[in-house]
Structure 1
Amino acid sequence: MKSAEHAIKGNWASLLLPIEADDSIEFSKLGAEMDILIDANVDGIYSNGTAGEFHNQTEEEFDRIQLMLAERCRKMGIPFVIGACQPDPAIMLNRVRRAAALAPAAIQVILPDWWPLTDEEAIDYLNRASGIANGIPILLYNPPHAKRVLAPRELGAILAESPGVVGVKLADGDANWYAEARDHLSGVSLFVPGHHLATGIREEVAAGAFSNVACLSPRGAQRWTDLMLADIDAAVEIEQRICKFMDQHIVPFRQKAGYSNAALDKLLCAIGNWGPVGTRLRFPYRWIGEDEAQRLRAVAKQELGDIMI
């Protein structure tokens, strides 16, 4: 499938913001986190996903984060993607313009989120973003909490008229979803949830993941991703254990207590204990206590020893 041949593939680690008690970003810790991810030799690093709290930072902070990432990754030869996502379309297009100047491998956008777009409006918006990106590929982020969650057929029709969009980060589904994705999204790089990546690879649909498993362990997620090319059955067995851990120990924080996906990803990072991030989110969002991370660390080491590197 063409998506597997695209340069943007594999295990992409999310940049998470270390937030201090006064709600400021601790940029020295952020730089240390970038260095750890680069040293883990992940396939790439991306900024300003949901877990990167793109929706809750100033434009000055946005620029500082992207410049730090671009300088470090270029120096070490690590691919990077900049998330220009923002619910406001005018602000987002300005972020695309500034991101393009840093020459990332791609720029990720969402569809403007206060009022859902029609197909025609989505095509217009993506083509405008692509033009502003000045030749840098666009990735569309269409998560389950988007105002419009696009089915493969809808997505295929929109992308057929948006040639600058080379990939989509989205939630996968059952066997029928994968069949529809093969029918309507051939040639598009699809990025499935990190804990479903082995299934996505086995189904010959996924190019990679902007990965929550890399939040838990960047090195472990990379080793697991590499295993998929050598022994997909063994990788699927690991996926089953990852999904069981997520369902039993992580998802209940969202289902029962209403914590955000960003809170869950930062919890995973604290369980993995690989960098100076912490679980705190920026006001007004609530986060999960470090004590829960300490409690679950022993569980993760026991159940996911091949990931917890």
Structure 2
Amino acid sequence: RAVVRDLYDGVAMARFFSTLMLISGVAPIVAPLIGGQILRVTDWRGVFVVLTGIGAVLTALVWLRLPETLPPAERHRGGVKESLRTMRGLLADLPFTGYLLAGGFAFAALFAYVSASPFVVQEVYGASPQTFSLLFGLNSVGLVIAGQINGKLLVGRVRLDRVLACGLAVIVLAATALLLMATGVFGEVGLAPVAAALFVLMSAMGFTMPNTQALALLRTRHAAGSASALLGTTSFLIGAVASPLVGIAGERTAVPMAVVQLAAALVAGVCFMGLCRPWKAGAGPEGPEGGDH
């Protein structure tokens, strides 16, 4: 994220975050396929050997091929104290904190899906492992498609905060539908409507996650590294807290997953509206016309 902020601005930066969403969406589809092939020739320990090798290769590539992207005139010595002071200043910026929390709680809804969907889809609704894998991959495809629609069609034409608001609203609606189905308001429902609601919820992430990051980093040209650290840490911290909650009532009910997703989406929406106040913002990535530098 910090590298993207150094290299791009305005519309170009927002579009690039949607491109990163393509990678984030494809990875969950490809990784299990690779893992399955690894397990054909070794045991579970072999998976960690492969991961270690991948980590070493990536470290070497970054060390050798990724130059410092921050312009020399904007570099500083850094240090823990300065980083903490910078982060404190970032958190004092209410719109930045709003985007930070909105993205973090939206990420918690995604984490709830990742943690609970194997049990919900297979144990509660009786899907086979193959069917679950197909649905998981399909949901990832939905996220990828939404991210590309966001980057190629909406960025530069529609205000980012409007797209973000619509994405959060869709997540709330999908999570509400899941909760109503899980609690039996519609009677006994099968896998199809639950899978459809999960698909809509996951696809909406393609409109929320890249835009929260873009809108937050648009405010932090002076501290992209610290801002990126806060964005990443907050998302995974909130997600880590949310994940165990989905199993609080056992593996035979989808209610905790739906409750966590709905609560996370509502909190994300409140943080966005209350702290960012998008109706007072300057419209697109760089002004009323959404122009680029």
Give the shorter-chain TM-score range: under 0.3
The normalised TM-score by structure 1 is 0.27
Work out which structure has the larger RCO, using CA pairs closer than 8 Å and 6 or more positions apart in sequence: 2
Higher percent of residues as strand: 1
Greater helix proportion: 2
| Superposition TM-score, scaled by structure 2 size | 0.28
